[in-house]
C-alpha cells in the first residue's frame, strides 16, 4: 500500500504528534514508523497495549531490532515482528533511541523505504523528524508516494519551510510530490493555511518552471499545501493516554480525521506497485 513520509525543517513543529494523530484516525490499516535520526520518543510519551511490561513500549523492539535483521537483507514481511501496539490500537515501529545509533545506520533508510513501500497490508506513516542538509533519509523519501512537510504558521518556521521546499525540490527530482501540512490556531485556521500557500507560491512556480529544456533530466516534484491540523495542546496531551470520547471530540483529532481522509485519498492503495506482503500485522493479538 502507500508510504507517506512526514518531516519538518528547523524547530519542533510536532511531526510525531501529527503522525500519531493521523494514524489514530487513518481510514485504512496503518503503521506509524519512527524514522527520526535524532532518536525516537514514542517509548517515553505513549503507553503500550497491556503486555505485562508495565504498559511501556519496548525500546529494543523496533527499528533497532529490525536493523539487525536488515543487514542480511530486508523483506516487507519481516517488519511485523518488530512492531508494537499502543493503547487504543495503533501499530507502531519504535525508532532508534539516540542520534549516535542513527549515525551507524545510514545504510538502512533506502532498504527500509523499499520494504515499507512493498507492504501489501497497511499504509505506512514514516515520522522522519527534522531534516538537515543531505539527510540520509532522502533515500527513504525517494521510495515514498508522498512527502509531507509539517510547519507551524509562524513567520520564522514558514521561512525555513520555504527554503526546505526549494532544496527538497532539487534533491527529490523524479521522486514523490511534496505536500505541506500546517499546524494552526483553530481561531485563524483557514487564514493561516491560505497564508502559507501564498508564501510558497513563488517557490512552487520556480520548481514548476524548471521542467524545461534548460534543465534536462527528471522533473522537480509538485508542491501543494494540503491543509492543516489544529494546534491543540490539550488534544495532544490526550494522545498520551487512552483515546476515547474526550480525545475523539478534540480539535486535534477532528482536524486530523479530515486531513487523514484527504491524504489517504491522494495515495491510491496499490496503484503504483504490486503488494509484496499480504499478511496482517497482527496475528492472534501479538506481533
**Taking the domains of the chain in order of start, what are their residue ranges?**
2-150+232-270
Nearest to 135 by CA among 171, 186, 86: 171
Q: What is residue 279's predicted lDDT score, i.e. its pLDDT?
A: 41
Q: Output the pTM of the full model.
A: 0.88
Q: What is residue 213's predicted lDDT score, i.e. its pLDDT?
A: 47
Instruction: Tell me what percent of the residues of the chain surpass a pLDDT of 90.
Output: 51
Taken in order 83, 85, 91, 97, is the CA torsion positive or negative?
A: negative
Q: What is residue 242's predicted lDDT score, i.e. its pLDDT?
A: 52
Mean pLDDT across 194-208: 88
Q: What is residue 278's predicted lDDT score, i.e. its pLDDT?
A: 37
Mean pLDDT across 66-86: 90
Q: pLDDT-based confidence at 269, cuts 50/70/90?
A: very low
Q: pLDDT-based confidence at 265, cuts 50/70/90?
A: very high
Q: What is residue 212's predicted lDDT score, i.e. its pLDDT?
A: 53
Residue 233, Cβ neighbours under 10 Å: how many?
A: 10
Is the pLDDT at 280 greater than 60? The verdict is no
Higher pLDDT, 116 or 106: 116
User: Considering the domain 2-150+232-270 in this protein, what is its CATH number?
Assistant: 3.40.50
Q: What is residue 54's predicted lDDT score, i.e. its pLDDT?
A: 58
Mean pLDDT across 88-97: 91
Q: pLDDT-based confidence at 232, cuts 50/70/90?
A: confident
Q: What is residue 206's predicted lDDT score, i.e. its pLDDT?
A: 85
Mean pLDDT across 232-241: 78
Tell me: the pLDDT tens digits for 120-155?
889 999 999 998 877 899 999 999 999 999 999 888
Q: What is residue 72's predicted lDDT score, i.e. its pLDDT?
A: 79
Tell me: the pLDDT tens digits for 13-56?
789 999 999 999 999 999 999 999 888 888 888 888 866 555 78
Nearest to 105 by CA among 117, 94, 120, 95: 95
Q: What is residue 285's predicted lDDT score, i.e. its pLDDT?
A: 37
Q: pLDDT-based confidence at 244, cuts 50/70/90?
A: low
Is the pLDDT at 276 greater than 60? The verdict is no
Amino acid at each position: 500500500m502507500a508510504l507517506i513520509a512526514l518531516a519538518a525543517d528547523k524547530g519542533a513543529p510536532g511531526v510525531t504528534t501529527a503522525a500519531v494523530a493521523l494514524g489514530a484516525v487513518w481510514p485504512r490499516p496503518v503503521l506509524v514508523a519512527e524514522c527520526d535520526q535524532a532518536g525516537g520518543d514514542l517509548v517515553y510519551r505513549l503507553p503500550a497495549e497491556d503486555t505485562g511490561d508495565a504498559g511501556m513500549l519496548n525500546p529494543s523492539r523496533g527499528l533497532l531490532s529490525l536493523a539487525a535483521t536488515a543487514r542480511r537483507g530486508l523483506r516487507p514481511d519481516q517488519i511485523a515482528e518488530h512492531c508494537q501496539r499502543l493503547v487504543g490500537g495503533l501499530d507502531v515501529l519504535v525508532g532508534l533511541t539516540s542520534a549516535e545509533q542513527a549515525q551507524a545506520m545510514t545504510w538502512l533508510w533506502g532498504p527500509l523505504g523499499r520494504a515499507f513501500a512493498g507492504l501489501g497490508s497497511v499504509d505506512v506513516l514514516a515520522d522522519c523528524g527534522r531534516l538537515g542538509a543531505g539527510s540520509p533519509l532522502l533515500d527513504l523519501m525517494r521510495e515514498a508516494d508522498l512527502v509531507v512537510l509539517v510547519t507551524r504558521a509562524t513567520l520564522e518556521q514558514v521561512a525555513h519551510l520555504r527554503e526546505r521546499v526549494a532544496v527538497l525540490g532539487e534533491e527529490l527530482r523524479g521522486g514523490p510530490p511534496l505536500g505541506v501540512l500546517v499546524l494552526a490556531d483553530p481561531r485563524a485556521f483557514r487564514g493561516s493555511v491560505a497564508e502559507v500557500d501564498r508564501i510558497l507560491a513563488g517557490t512552487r512556480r520556480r520548481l514548476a518552471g524548471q521542467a524545461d529544456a534548460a534543465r534536462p533530466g527528471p522533473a522537480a516534484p509538485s508542491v501543494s499545501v494540503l491543509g492543516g491540523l489544529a494546534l491543540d495542546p490539550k488534544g495532544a496531551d490526550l494522545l498520551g493516554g487512552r483515546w476515547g470520547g474526550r480525545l475523539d471530540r478534540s480539535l486535534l483529532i477532528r482536524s486530523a480525521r479530515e486531513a487523514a481522509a484527504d491524504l489517504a485519498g491522494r495515495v491510491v492503495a496499490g496503484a503504483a506497485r504490486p503488494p509484496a506482503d499480504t499478511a496482517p500485522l497482527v496475528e492472534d493479538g501479538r506481533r
